[in-house]
Amino acid sequence: MGSKQFSSAINCMDGRVQEPAIKFLKNRYQTPYIDNITLPGPEKALSTSGLTRVHESTREKLEISIHNHNSEKVAIFAHHDCAGNPAKRSEKEKQLQKAAGRVRAWFPEVTVETFYINKKWEVKPVSGS
């Protein structure tokens, strides 16, 4: 497949955030297809220390997206009103930084960015990640 056809998203399973994230990434990355990896509160799940089944599963899925679909960009999302991670936004942004560091360690060849989806369902970049 073409090298600029796919990007990857690690997003919450919450159905409210899927469409805003996909629409945003298609425009930002200029790729027609977004490989979605969903789980509840992904920023929390990926920022925990040690190696968990969630880490292993996410890494396996990213590996397919990166190595088979030639995805060059990975976006990690957190969002307002998350049942899987009811922490404050400031805590979620710290977790996003840790999660991004983990993904960069797994796949140093890709660009990893982090985003927060606010209560208006708008996607906002998170700096420092």
Instruction: Give the predicted TM-score (pTM) of the model.
Output: 0.95
SS3 string of 15-73? HHHHHHHHHHHHHHHCCCEEEEEECCCHHHHHHCCCCCHHHHHHHHHHHHHHHHCCCCE
Q: What is the pLDDT of residues 48-103, one digit of tens each?
A: 988 889 999 999 999 999 999 999 999 999 999 999 999 999 999 999 999 999 99
Local structure of 77: helix, strand or coil: strand
pLDDT grade, residue 114 (50/70/90)? very high
Measured CA to CA, the distance from residue 21 to residue 35 in angstroms comes to: 11
Among the listed residues 52, 66, 48, 47, the one whose alpha carbon sits nearest the alpha carbon of residue 129: 47
Domain ranges (residues) in the chain: 6-125
Which CATH number applies to 6-125: 3.60.20.10, 3.40.1050.10, 3.40.50.720, 2.40.50.140? 3.40.1050.10
